[in-house]
Structure 1
Amino acid sequence: MTEKEQRRQVLSLSETLRGFEKSLGFKNDIKWISAIVITLYHVAAVYWSYHYAFPVKWQTILFAILMYIISGFGITGGAHRLWTHRAFKATLPLKLFFLAAFASAGQNSLEQWVRDHRVHHKYSDTEADPHNANRGLFFSHIGWLMLKKNDQVLIRGKQLDMTDITGDPLLRFYNKYFIYFKLLFCYILPTTLTIYLWGENWRCAVAWQCFIRFLGMFHSELTVNSLAHAYGYKPYNKNIVPRENRFVAFVTLGEGWHNYHHVFPFDYKAAEHFDLFNFGTYFIRLFNKIGWAYDLREATPEMINSTAKRLGDGTPVHFPLHDY
């Protein structure tokens, strides 16, 4: 086949895919490589876990739960509350812990994560929101990762001030080599430790670390964009889409009190109260006690009560087990 014929086939395939996208009614072009990889990863996870996840040693399950918590804290404590919202400050040891923990979650790079989330907050549930909940539950949960960003998302993302991330030498180095950190902390180290520390079968180790634990945290984090924008109540501002969702709060270590978080995004607790589900706040307070986390920002009770009375839906918020 000549080079000209090859070029003609590629163009023909591109036109076919674009026509397929339009026939499905997509507003954005499909990122076919991402869509295929995400789909196949889930198919492989079901097949592999069905055949190799059991029998399993109790240490393997316990370590998978531990890695779920660590990777979750890397997202909620590090990428979200520290770097996106600057809700508190951290010493170098805590930053390094957060970076390793975030890498273990297998997300996009920290810079991408922060940019997407800042755009989400500034233009929540509009066409400039990367995971606009008004486009449906599937899109806001995982579909947005399979599609190219529309023009509004790209424009607003470029307009954001990201100098606190791009100008930090530590974060520049981290983002430059992020793919290697992700491979190491998300897949290689957890799986290898599972095999060599207590002699787990390698197939079982892969099932629990690369599939069950990873996808468990992956989808838990995505529920903040989907379920917490679709189900729940709005005690702080009834005029916005984000809601308080206890299930989301549980699986994400405290990120489900989403109506409050969108009203007071700077609050390090991401909730009015510290309750049983808000493990992220517990961890931050623990590091605060040893001096690794400091300058914790939070909304005052007067500010919260005033906003809730003016804008809330009247839902009582006396569910937490612990107050300030």
Structure 2
Amino acid sequence: MAPNLKDEDFLQADEEIQEPLKPKAVKREYTILYHMVLVLAYLHIAALYGVYLLFTSAKWATVVFNILTFIAGSYGISAGVHRLWSHRAYKAKMPLQILLMLMHTISGQTTVINWARDHRVHHKYCDTDADPYSSVRGLFFSHIGWLMVKRHPECLEKGKEINISDLLQNPVLRFQKKYYSILSPLMVFILPTLIPMYFWNESISNAYHVHLVIVMLGANATFCLNSIAHAFGNKPYDENISATKIVPLSLMSSGEGYHNFHHAFPFDYRSSEFGNDYINFSTHFIDFFARIGWAYDLKITTPEMITNRVKRTGDGTHRSIRSRS
């Protein structure tokens, strides 16, 4: 059973979150990390070749295997590093933590500790120079460009100051961080290539390149939440922040398309007012493990809290406002 949070409980629960500062639209100079440009360019080009192989020569078993891999990685990001570890929106017993850590590792999106630290900085200093993927710096920067340049000094400074003691004390996350140089290539590239080759005689080129399609699709789904979901869409809960509501993104990100709600209420485990929405896959995932006792202390915001926020700061597009007009 998910406990409701009162206004004062919500404010106390999220020690890392504050109202975003007014962004500064100023001209900035960038130090390009050319090795990252080359790596990202290669991965995208190789993934495009994988798309060609996907439709021309890959076996059906390879396609199904990679769809399952994509789903696993998506849950590792959304239900794991995002809702569980970045925002502590619920608690998980050790078996679920291990499962989510492995599913996150499949995605290839750095360690949980690094990912969650950046995300907490993003929420606390959204759209300032401290924000790793500030939307003020343009759609390309917030999508993928932030990985291609050196970080702003303020981002580095605030990243060191952010409280991640809960992550550093977690034995599952410490294990992942310690052995990530082994786990990442093994689970992102080696095993997904060898499994199709060994079990159904897929070619090495098909197995490798088709899996890169999944890796880059998952990465860009996450990137879209930093870019598109801060540039286009409605703001039914808070029109004063850049995060928006773009429901179709939920199909790519396991239910993270209600981004305006998430930034307004970051500690709601559903990342949406509509927790039972059929495309909010991660909420259903968490609910399943709550039923078997592996997930607990699921936090949700009260309807009254949502209504008050909609009336106070919403842009007028919330369904409760439209239904009265």
TM-score in same-fold range (> 0.5):
yes
Match of residue 204 from structure 1: 206
1:105–1:186 Cα contact (<8 Å) kept:
yes
Matched-pair contact (CA < 8 Å) for 1:53–1:208: no
Counterpart in the other structure of 1:101: 103
| Residues 98-107 or 175-184, more deviating | 175-184
The CA distance in 2 between the partners of 1:43 and 1:108, in whole Å, is: 21
Cα deviation for residue 45 of structure 1 reads: 2.8
Name the structure 2 match of 1:222. Answer: 223
TM-score by length of 1: 0.87
Larger displacement relative to structure 2 (260-269 or 27-36): 27-36
Who is 2:12 aligned against? none
- 3-state SS of the aligned residue for 2:39? helix
Aligned partner of 1:167 among 166, 169, 181? 169
Correspondent of 1:92 among 91, 94, 97: 94
Q: CA deviation at 1:34?
A: 1.1
Determine if contact 1:238/1:311 at 8 Å carries over to the other structure.
Answer: yes
One-letter identity of the residue aligned with 2:97: K
Residue identity in the other structure for 2:65? F
Q: Structure 1 residue 37: deviation in Å?
A: 1.3
Q: Percent identity?
A: 43
Deviation at 1:197, TM superposition (A): 2.0
Q: What's 1:33 paired with?
A: 35
Residues 283-298 of structure 1: matches in 2 within 5 Å? 283-298=285-300
Q: Give the 5 Å matches for 1:78-157.
A: 78-157=80-159
Q: What corresponds to 2:14 in structure 1? A: none
1:74 aligns with 2:83: no
Shift of 1:51: 5.5
One-letter amino acid of the structure 1 residue matched with residue 214 of structure 2: R
Moved over 6 A (4+): none
Which letter does structure 1 place at the counterpart of 2:226?
N
Query: Per-residue deviation at 1:139?
Result: 0.4
Give the distance between the partners of 2:306 and 2:97, measured in 1 at CA. 30
- Going from structure 1 to structure 2, the CA distance change for 1:26 and 1:294 (only over 3 Å counts) comes to same
State the Cα distance separating 1:67 from its structure 2 match: 0.7
Per mean C-alpha deviation after superposition, the further-off stretch among 88-97 and 193-202 is: 193-202
The verdict on how the C-alpha distance between 1:238 and 1:52 changes in structure 2, with shifts beyond 3 A counting, is closer
The CA distance in 2 between the partners of 1:125 and 1:46, in whole Å, is: 32
Aligned to 1:181: 183
Residues 19-57 of structure 1 deviation map (CA, whole Å, 9 limit, x = unaligned)? xxxxxx752311121122111222233345536762122
What's the TM-score once normalised by structure 2's chain length? 0.87
The aligned residue for residue 262 of structure 1 is 263
The answer to whether the Cα contact below 8 Å between 2:49 and 2:209 also exists between their aligned partners in 1 is no
Counterpart amino acid of 1:227? I
Give the number of aligned pairs.
293
Residue matched to 1:158: 160
Cα shift at 1:80: 0.4
Amino acid at match of 1:202: I
Q: Which residue of 1 aligns with 2:232?
A: 231
- CA drift of 1:227 comes to 0.6
Quote the residue 2:274 is aligned against: 273
Q: Name the stretch that deviates more: 29-38 or 259-268.
A: 29-38
Per the TM alignment, residue 253 of structure 1 is displaced from its structure 2 partner at its CA by: 0.7
Distance in 2, matches of 1:27 and 1:293, equals 45
Q: Tell me the residue number matched to 2:21.
A: none
Structure 2 CA distance for partners of 1:51 and 1:197, relative to 1, 3 Å = closer
Structure 2 unaligned residues grouped into runs of 5+ = 1-26, 321-325
- Higher relative CO (CA 8 A, sep ≥ 6), structure 1 or 2? 2
8 Å Cα contact 1:53/1:203 also seen in 2: no
Q: Contact 1:59 / 1:198 at 8 angstroms: preserved in 2?
A: yes
Q: SS of the residue aligned with 1:224?
A: helix
Which one has the largest radius of gyration?
1
Match of 2:52 in 1: 50
Match of 2:302 in 1: 300
CA positional deviation for 1:177: 1.1
Which residues of structure 1 form unaligned runs of 5+? Answer: 1-24, 319-324
Aligned-pair Cα RMSD in Å: 1.5
Paired residue secondary structure (1:223): helix
Preserved CA contact (<8 Å) 1:227 1:248: no
